[in-house]
């Protein structure tokens, strides 16, 4: 009787196991990798959800550079004409990201913000259960709660002289303060509308501008994404003032770089740019 049971089990496994293996192989085969294009005249920037620990390309005509000494969230990709290859990136938490990379003379996209959901796996087994999920959500909520409280504190406290101000058609843009706390920089910003028309805010971008040296001087900008924003309005009514805070991951700048704040009006032309020297970023309050 036992021999019959064992024999039956072996027969069932011999039928089921290949199907399971075939299904797994099918899933792996059907997963299509995204393609990233690069060339030899521009830096394509890849921002990852966690700092990069390792990044390699499969061919010499592609170069992926990142800071090997200090943990950073982004890497730079360049390419020379040649056959397509692949890029493999592993972050400090073991998440693995894989992409097809190709050379393209004209690029339509220079910045890629990589979500954790695009990871193809983890080099270490990841245990996902209710405890892990709850602790992760609690951590995120606690971080946002802290950002909210600290931003509110900065908006309530008295500040010294305005660091920088700009004006365009009775629209005033001011950077009241830059404050460093823990691992973040807090930009306290004010928009004052002294005109008789409401100001519909399209966007306020914060970028780092690099002044290239040499005979052909050029400027290159890299937009910085805030990790938290408090009280950013969509509209500033006439004769009203709005104050808000941008929270950015901490960064520092060399002498040939500066921060650019770009204010843009929706369906209007009251736009302006403000340049903020590297000294305000490297010496925050």
Q: Would the pLDDT of 200 be above 90?
A: yes
Token readout for 232 is 């950013």
The number of angstroms, rounded, from the C-alpha of 210 to the middle of its chain's C-alpha atoms is 18
Share of the chain above pLDDT 70, in %: 80
Asked if 26 and 18 count as a contact pair (C-beta separation under 8 A), the reply is: no
Asked if 213 and 256 count as a contact pair (C-beta separation under 8 A), the reply is: yes
Tell which residue, 172, 44, 137, 163, has the closest CA to residue 99.
Answer: 44
Non-local (6+) Cβ contacts of 274 within 8 A are: 164, 165, 166, 173, 175, 260, 261, 263
Asked if 191 and 199 count as a contact pair (C-beta separation under 8 A), the reply is: yes
Cα(55)–Cα(51) distance, integer angstroms: 11
Rg (CA), the chain: 25
Question: Span 7-29, mean pLDDT?
Answer: 39
Question: Span 201-230, mean pLDDT?
Answer: 85
- DSSP reduced 3-state for 169: coil
Domain 162-282 CATH class label = mainly beta
Q: Would the pLDDT of 24 be above 60?
A: no
Q: Where are the domains of the chain?
A: 35-122, 162-282
Token readout for 273 is 């740019």
Determine the topology of domain 35-122 in CATH: Immunoglobulin-like (2.60.40)
pLDDT of 220: 85
Asked if 175 and 188 count as a contact pair (C-beta separation under 8 A), the reply is: yes
The mean pLDDT of the chain is 83
pLDDT of 20: 38
Q: Would the pLDDT of 180 be above 70?
A: yes
**Weakest-pLDDT range from 17-26, 31-40, 105-114, 228-237:** 17-26
Query: What burial class does residue 181 get, using C-beta atoms within 10 Å of its C-beta: 0-12 exposed, 13-18 middle, 19+ buried?
Result: middle
Cα(48)–Cα(73) distance, integer angstroms: 5
The model's pTM is: 0.51
What is each CA distance from 130 to 134, 139, 140, 142, in whole angstroms? Answer: 6, 14, 15, 18
Token readout for 29 is 């085969």
Asked if 76 and 8 count as a contact pair (C-beta separation under 8 A), the reply is: no
Alpha-helix residue ranges (DSSP H) falling in the chain: 2-30, 130-156, 278-282
Same fold, 35-122 and 162-282: yes
Cα(167)–Cα(272) distance, integer angstroms: 8
What is each CA distance from 196 to 87, 235, 265, 278, in whole angstroms? Answer: 53, 13, 15, 35
Which residue is associated with the tokens 């294009």?
A: 37
């Amino acid at each position: 009787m036992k021999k019959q049971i064992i024999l039956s089990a072996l027969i069932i496994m011999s039928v089921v196991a290949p199907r399971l293996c075939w299904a797994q192989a099918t899933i792996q085969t059907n997963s299509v990798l995204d393609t990233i294009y690069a060339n030899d005249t521009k830096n394509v920037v890849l921002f990852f959800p966690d700092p990069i620990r390792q990044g390699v390309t499969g061919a010499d005509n592609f170069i992926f550079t990142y800071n090997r000494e200090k943990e950073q969230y982004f890497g730079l990709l360049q390419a020379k004409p040649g056959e397509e290859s692949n890029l493999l990136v592993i972050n400090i938490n073991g998440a693995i990201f894989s992409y097809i990379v190709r050379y393209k003379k004209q690029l339509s996209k220079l910045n890629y913000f990589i979500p954790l959901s695009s990871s193809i796996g983890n080099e270490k087994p990841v245990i996902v259960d209710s405890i892990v999920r709850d602790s992760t959500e609690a951590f995120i909520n606690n971080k946002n709660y802290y950002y909210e409280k600290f931003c509110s504190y900065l908006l309530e406290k008295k500040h010294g002289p305005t660091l920088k101000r700009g004006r365009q058609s009775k629209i005033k843009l001011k950077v009241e303060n830059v404050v460093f706390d823990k691992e973040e920089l807090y930009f306290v910003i004010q928009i004052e509308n002294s005109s008789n028309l409401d100001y519909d805010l399209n966007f306020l971008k914060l970028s780092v501008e690099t002044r290239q040296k040499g005979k052909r001087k050029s400027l290159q900008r890299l937009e910085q994404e805030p990790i938290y924003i408090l009280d950013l309005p969509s509209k500033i009514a006439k004769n009203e003032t709005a104050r808000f805070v941008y929270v950015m991951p901490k960064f520092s700048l060399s002498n040939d770089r500066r921060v650019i704040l770009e204010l843009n009006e929706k369906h209007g032309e009251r736009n302006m740019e403000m340049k903020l020297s590297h000294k305000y970023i490297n010496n925050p309050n």
